[in-house]
Chains A and B, each alone.
Chain A
Amino acid sequence: EAGVAQSPRYKIIEKRQSVAFWCNPISGHATLYWYQQILGQGPKLLIQFQNNGVVDDSQLPKDRFSAERLKGVDSTLKIQPAKLEDSAVYLCASSFDRANTQYFGPGTRLTVL
């Protein structure tokens, strides 16, 4: 069974630029999550989708971050404009449904200069 796929693996941008990350969850998983992991900290949930609907985006900085999962499968997370403090690893995870174990992708390491 293929795992959660993410791209790109690494991205370096300058502050005030825009960036987008892509995630393809495990086939059949209805729930998709985006996490931000700052160095030295545990992952922090940004947004949770159930199929193509948002379940929880309470910790998403909506002035600069946006995410969508239009067809209930793939998802994109966008930052516009980026700030220095957005430097982190962005992890995507998926689960069969909201009550099941989450499985993580390899992450995208973002560096904002």
Chain B
Amino acid sequence: DQQVKQNSPSLSVQEGRISILNCDYTNSMFDYFLWYKKYPAEGPTFLISISSIKDKNEDGRFTVFLNKSAKHLSLHIVPSQPGDSAVYFCAASAILENNDMRFGAGTRLTVKP
């Protein structure tokens, strides 16, 4: 069941520009959303999260936006750096239920020098 979708399998941006990664979800019970970054041969690393009571959360160069009415979230990276090149997974869970996280299929970001 594809409750979390990342429709862009890949994204390429120039160093210094903005990277925007998108994610859509279908389950209205989701109330906690996360982005994970994954390098080859490593496990996913937690990047940033947002609760459904907010519409924006910022941490340095990373900002996550949540649009509950559209069931859509996005991750903005500004400015993008070559070290940001990785696969980014969007995940969602219903904290008040069992916190089972559902992941999207990932978007491979390439930041070119």
Spell out A's residues near B (CB within 8 Å): 4, 6, 31, 33, 40-45, 48, 55-56, 91, 93, 95, 98-99, 101-107
Question: Which of B34, B101, B106 makes the CB contact (< 8 A) with A45?
Answer: B101
CA distance A102 to B95 in the complex (A): 12
Spell out B's residues near A (CB within 8 Å): 4, 6, 34, 36, 41-46, 49, 89, 91, 95, 98-106
Question: Which of B46, B89, B100, B105 makes the CB contact (< 8 A) with A40?
Answer: B105
CA distance A43 to B104 in the complex (A): 8
The residues of A that contact B6 with a CB separation of less than 8 Å are 42
CA distance A95 to B91 in the complex (A): 15
Least Cβ distance of A46 to chain B in Å?
A: 11
Are A99 and B95 closer than 8 Å at their CB atoms?
Answer: yes
Are B98 and A56 closer than 8 Å at their CB atoms?
Answer: yes
Are A104 and B98 closer than 8 Å at their CB atoms?
Answer: no
Are B42 and A42 closer than 8 Å at their CB atoms?
Answer: no
CA distance A103 to B44 in the complex (A): 8
The residues of A that contact B45 with a CB separation of less than 8 Å are 104
